[in-house]
Amino acid sequence: MKPWETLNSKILIKDDWITLSSDTCKLPNGSTIAPYYVLHERDWVHVFAQADDGRILTVKQFRYAARQVCIELPGGVIDEGETALLAAQRELLEETGYTANYWQTLGSMYANPARQTNSIHLFLATGLNLMGKQQLDVSEEIEFDFLTIPEIQQKIETNEFSQALHIASFYRGLHALT
């Protein structure tokens, strides 16, 4: 397969969180698509943090666009100049107050390669230690809990653990354990 050619790209929105471009693309068959919107975002991290008893550390927070409280894995945006591992360690500490003695990268995957430029980097964290209180951003209100693997799978079925990208990361983390 041949890649599309970008004939023109116009930035519509640019701020600290996202850049949205409107592109004119030429397809390998000669057709042109305009506008083709691309969302440029920083990469994200997810942390599959497993306690010594096998339970998984999860977070629960209100998600504005969905108007729902969602259960997820800890994670967030990789800050500029930060490695994915450092971001995962920072996010775990900020959202839960926990650190981990052992970290293993489980790879990365695209968030939505049709429209977004970013990837999600997944880490397995074990040897958990509670180091203090959460250090939440002003927009965050996060509760955390340890859930068994069957409990998470049940919450996926009942749409409480409902973000597709977190579900993918959960099952990828689960696969790494076997």
DSSP secondary structure of 94-118: HHHSEEEEEEEEEEEEES-TTTB--
Which residue type, as a one-letter code, is found at position 138? V
How far apart CA 139 and CA 23 sit, in angstroms, is: 32
pLDDT of 10-63, one tens digit each? 999 999 889 999 999 999 999 999 999 999 999 999 999 999 999 999 999 999
**Is residue 169 scored above 90 in pLDDT?**
yes
How far apart CA 4 and CA 157 sit, in angstroms, is: 38
**Is the distance from CB of 60 to CB of 71 less than 8 angstroms?**
yes
Question: pLDDT at position 138, please?
Answer: 83
pLDDT of 119-162, one tens digit each? 999 999 999 999 989 888 888 889 999 999 999 999 999 999 99
